[in-house]
A = this chain, B = another copy of it.
Amino acid sequence: MSYQAPEAFANVTAACKANIYFDGKVVSHTLTLADGSRKTLGLIYPGLYKFNTGAPEKMEIIAGACRARIAGNVDWIGFTAGTWFDVPGNSFFEIEVTDGVAEYVCSFC
């Protein structure tokens, strides 16, 4: 079964104020879906960032490229548009963009 990155989310409430991390190097806007679940639409500028998770997260790469190291794994894995990775809850991941802007959808599960 092939995976396809989402193109749009219908019937959502979009918050006007962005979430701004690392002096604006990582930014996102929050969507609340009809079932109450949350997603963020985000952009990552070049740099290396560490994020802690509360709920488990699914990171889908919409455009650009990045690499990620999940929950303290030794290995970095590269991700490009149309790929995704899961992060366990109460854990963390590191994500690095070296060139351009990576775009993502983060889903909180």
Contacts and interface: CB of A to CB of B under 8 A. Distances in A.
A13 B16 contact: no
For the side of the interface on A, what is the size category? 20 to 34
Q: How many copies of the polypeptide does the oligomer hold?
A: 2
Contacts of A20: 43, 101
A45 B11 CA distance: 30
B43 A18 contact: yes
Contact of A16 (B11, B16, B24, B41): B41
B18 A8 contact: no
A18 B100 CA distance: 13
A24 B11 contact: no
A62 interface: yes
